[in-house]
Structure 1
Amino acid sequence: MKIKKHIYCRHCSDYEVQFFDVDSMDIMWHGHYVKYLEMARCAFLTDINYTYDLMREQGYAWPIVQLNLKYVKPARFRQKIRVNLAVVEYQSCLRIEYDIIDIASGSRLTKGATTQVAVALDSGEMQLQTPRSWCKAVEAYAGFTPSDLP
């Protein structure tokens, strides 16, 4: 039996694949997919009013500690893509799952996930719980759905 993950909130961002992101065959180079995940994550952080600048002001860095990507179909030069993200954990870390889709057809191009942890800038220690201010920002997001688990 597969346990269904709870999705706390969703966000989407649209982009056009740029020339500087493709190889000689007009296919997006595999390493650039990470950049589009980051742009979508930054758009989400802006929407919840908890940007990387605010994280730093509050004394935390949020490094990526895990990244997973599965390439399904190539993204091509000038293709319109949508990065859908789903926050699946925010209290002990920030875990986001992503789907990059072709806007025209709706077909999946890439599936991915990132995990970030809060690290205190003054001590360099990884935090076992995310800062309360972070939790409040996520919980105040208009699309937030609390878990029904205790």
Structure 2
Amino acid sequence: MKKHIYCRHSFEIEVQFFDVDAMHIVWHGNYVKYLETARCAFLSAIGYDYNEMARQGYSWPIVQMNLKYIRPARFGQKIRVDMDIVEIESCLRIDYTIYDVETNEKLTRASTTQAAVSLSDGLMQFQTPGSWLEAVKRHPTFQAV
């Protein structure tokens, strides 16, 4: 069964020298930073960044992350992080694919899951807050189930 994609977002980044090892290949841990940078751009686009989450009374820690390295990204390369937002009601789950901008070659696949946690009592929420759902619905590519 094909999963529903609520919305899509893309973000481009140029690989910086401080992200690579001696062979000019991106050190594996920096892919997490690329996912976070792209995710922050998405959250800003819907007006629900981490500051807004806190104002609404929630933190959204990462509870699961998966990465599959297909080909290395290299110093100076322009990469595009394509994001498919695939779950918004019980958590925030995003599937990512990182591509070379020039060749469209697939470099990495990843996914993250974040859960809302109430700041007042520290309890994980099994349903996302209404303010979150309304924000996601504002994204121009939003598709209801």
Shorter-chain TM-score above 0.5: yes
Match of 1:38 in 2: 36
Runs of 4+ in 1 over 6 A off after TM superposition: none
Residue type of the alignment partner of 1:49: G
Write the distance in 2 (CA, Å) between the matches of 1:139 and 1:104.
31
3-state SS of paired residue (2:29): helix
Q: What amino acid does structure 2 have at the position aligned with 1:62?
A: W
Q: Deviations along 1:111-149, whole A, 9 cap, x unmatched?
A: 0000000000111100010000000011121110111xx
Give 1:56's aligned amino acid.
A
Amino acid at match of 1:74: P
Inter-partner Cα distance in structure 2 for 1:39 and 1:75: 16
Q: Equivalents in 2 of 1:66, 1:107: separation in Å?
A: 26
Matched residues in 1 for 2:107 and 2:138: separation?
Answer: 31
Q: Give the match for residue 128 of structure 2.
A: 130
Q: Secondary structure at the match of 1:30?
A: coil
Q: Distance in 2 between matches of 1:55 and 1:48?
A: 12
Instruction: Please give the per-residue CA displacement for 1:18-51, whole angstroms capped at 9, x wherever unaligned.
Output: 0000000000000000000000000000000101
**What amino acid sits opposite 1:16 in the alignment?**
E
User: Equivalent pairs: percent with the same residue?
Assistant: 60
Task: Give the TM-score taking structure 1 as reference length.
Answer: 0.96
**What's 2:77 paired with?**
79
Unmatched tracts of structure 2, length 5 or more? none
- State the TM-score, normalizing by the size of structure 2: 0.99
